Chain A
Amino acid sequence: DPSKEEHDEL
């Protein structure tokens, strides 16, 4: 689930 991870893209 992407929200749990920090956004690592520009």
Chain B
Amino acid sequence: AAGIGLLVGMNCPKAVKPRDVITGISGRSQILFLVTYVARYLDLLTNFVSVYNTAMKVFFIAASAATVYLMLFKFKATYDHNHDTLRVEFLIAPCALLALVVNHDFTPLEILWTFSIYLESVAILPQLFMVSKTGEAETITSHYLFALGSYRALYILNWIYRYYFDNFFDLIAIVAGVVQTVLYCDFFYLYITKVLKGKKIVLPA
């Protein structure tokens, strides 16, 4: 929530003058996150878990929709097309196929949930690809990526806890969550060794 809130805040027209909108954010990753949250939270109205759970689902969908709108429509001029080029079809298609094959239940809602779990684990790839192409990440982008990466990493601790105390585990969520966290690892290394020391992330050319 902090990461997404940061992104909306920094892209919000009131907060910053249009020319200051942070560059270097991948619009493609933001679209993948929006698809992830919509596909996963379709049970928003049918399955009430808790006020917190419902509130966060609404926040995730609203904030990522706002980010996509601000980036690709309102501030279209500052969106960096030529560096945000990873083909998302090559991410969406395999996730969709895998969701049809490997899932807990062959029902529309469960397939969409599974698709969303697989998609989330690769949704950051366009962003990481863009950072490698631009060769650097703005500090605020680094904080955003660190928050986004640690969210799923912390879930791994929660899954361990639930395995030992509730004797519950969901292998699909766990495998996808581990893959997702591994994808952030090289970024975490850069974040810890550079950004936290006040340096900018500049990748070797």
Contacts and interface: CB of A to CB of B under 8 A. Distances in A.
Chains A and B come from one and the same complex:
yes
B110 A3 contact: yes
Interface residues of A, number: 8
Contacts of B53: 8, 10
B113 interface: yes
Range, interface on chain B: 20 to 34
B155 interface: yes
Given A2-B168, A3-B110, A9 B105 contact: no
Contacts of A9: 155, 158, 170, 173
Nearest to B113: A7
Contacts of B60: 10
A8 to B, nearest CB: 5
Interface of A: 1-3, 6-10
Interface of B: 40, 43, 47, 49, 53, 56-57, 60, 103-105, 110, 113, 155, 158, 168-173
